[in-house]
Amino acid sequence: MPEETKIPASGELEGVENGPASSPSPSKKKAPIKGKLVLARVTLLDGTLLDVNIERKSKGQELLEKVCEHLNLLEKDYFGLTYEDRHDPRNWLEMDKRIAKFVKNEPWKFNFEVKFYPPDPAQLQEDITRYQLCLQIRNDILMGKLPCSFVTHALLGSYLVQSEIGDYDAEEHGRNYLKEFRFAPNQTPELEEKVMDLHRTHKGQTPAEAELHYLENAKKLAMYGVDLHPAKDSEGVDIMLGVCASGLLVYRDRLRINRFAWPKILKISYKRHNFYIKIRPGEFEQYESTIGFKLANHRAAKKLWKVSVEHHTFFRLMTPEPTQKTGLFPRFGSKFRYSGRTHYETKKALIERPAPRFERSLSGRGLTSRSMDALAGPRQMEEDFNKRK
């Protein structure tokens, strides 16, 4: 049986997957007892490091709560933590499982990232949440994950400058004030000149207004919020599968060749290194159709399936599907479910507090090469995608 995920009326997703210890004998040495606390080192979106002492038996959600508490974030459902293991440089930490199951080396190392990119950032309730989203998009652009034209690089860069330093002042800023700012992977003097010209036109915008303009333009980019996975189609042709808020996207040679919106998908499944989607019949079709893709291995197929399950549940369902309880007979298959609040729930949870004050650092001036490497994650896949002709 393949791993399956049915998609309910609004879309469903599920999957299938192939006592105290006794006391040691006197001849064996006892393993050293580890302390109850372990150090978790988290790279934040601005490139700074946050050290958190946490109980060894803690679950992922407990660490995410501590990071969001440090950042004063209440709209935390859009965010997650990634970690590296020997199989994959970027994995999402499962919130409802013990961290020690996934990370062995100490200190535990994680990146704090946006997991679910809101389709309409203006609907976020707090400026501080939008600021973190700005940081993520800035990083995506600098890492080449979010391709932009020259004009878009300049426009987005001008809003970042307005947010951080305010209105342009000829006497204070002169002509070289953008030297240390970072707007694009391959920044040129021509780009800086264009950013400078556009910055002057934003006079009077508050940091929050500049950031909202930044997000309103960024959300229109074709690759905004798309999580890419390399695969092959049924004919063995190299493609990229993208998971996003609206559904599944298929790219070949940098061009989007197909789109499967969540409402059209009946079931998502995987078996061995294959990933399948079952599509509702079209207006003039009688039967459902199943489309298969080949991933590099079983882990890659399961990873894509999990990301799809989570995105579908977060953006399409009103509440997460309940975890099935173990019955009299064992259930053969994955019990994986998205465990957090959905997009609908997080928008309905009203926040009633004064707008928190915080320091902004969107320019990238404080980013070192080391912190950029930590934020980069698996860059090669995006670089290959952007280089294809």
Q: pLDDT tens, 256-282?
A: 999 999 999 999 999 999 999 999 987
List the domains of the chain with CATH numbers: 37-114 (3.10.20.90), 121-219 (1.20.80.10), 227-322 (2.30.29.30)
Residue 289: name the closest of 299, 275, 300, 276 by CA.
276
pLDDT on residue 127: 97
Burial 240-278 (b: 16+ CB within 10 A, else e): bbbbbbbbbbbbeeeeeeeebebebbbbbbbbebbbbbb
Q: Are strands 37-43 and 108-114 parallel, antiparallel or unpaired?
A: parallel
What's the per-residue H, E or C state across the chain?
Answer: CCEEEECCCCCCCCCCCCCCCCCCCCCCCCCCCCCCEEEEEEECCCCCEEEEEEECCCEHHHHHHHHHHHHCCCCHHHEEEEECCCCCCCEECCCCCEHHHCCCCCCEEEEEEECCCCCCHHHCCCHHHHHHHHHHHHHHHHCCCCCCCHHHHHHHHHHHHHHHHCCCCHHHHCCCCCCCCCCCCCCCHHHHHHHHHHHHCCCCCCHHHHHHHHHHHHCCCCCCCCEEEEEECCCCCEEEEEEECCEEEEEECCEEEEEEEHHHEEEEEEECCEEEEEECCCCCCCCCEEEEEECCCHHHHHHHHHHHHHHHHHHHCCCCCCCCCCCCCCCCCCCCCCCCCCHHHHHHCCCCCCCCCCCCCCCCCCCCHHHHHHHHCCHHHHHHHHHCC
**More reliable by pLDDT, 14 or 78:** 78
Amino acid at 67: V
Give per-residue pLDDT as tens, 18-54.
444 444 445 455 544 467 999 999 999 999 999 999 9
Contact between 314 and 116 (Cβ < 8 Å): yes
The pLDDT of residue 207 is above 90 = yes
pLDDT on residue 330: 41
Distance CA 157, CA 276 (A): 40
Instruction: Compute the mean pLDDT over every residue in the chain, rounded to the nearest whole number.
Output: 86
pLDDT on residue 6: 61
Please confirm whether the linkage preceding 89 is cis (ω < 30° from 0): no
Q: Which residues pair with 258 in a beta bridge?
A: 250
Give per-residue pLDDT as tens, 333-383.
456 777 789 999 999 989 999 999 999 888 776 555 545 555 555 454 555
Confidence of residue 131 (pLDDT cuts 50, 70, 90): very high
**More reliable by pLDDT, 287 or 300:** 300
Distance CA 235, CA 253 (A): 15
| pTM of structure | 0.84
Distance CA 50, CA 311 (A): 27
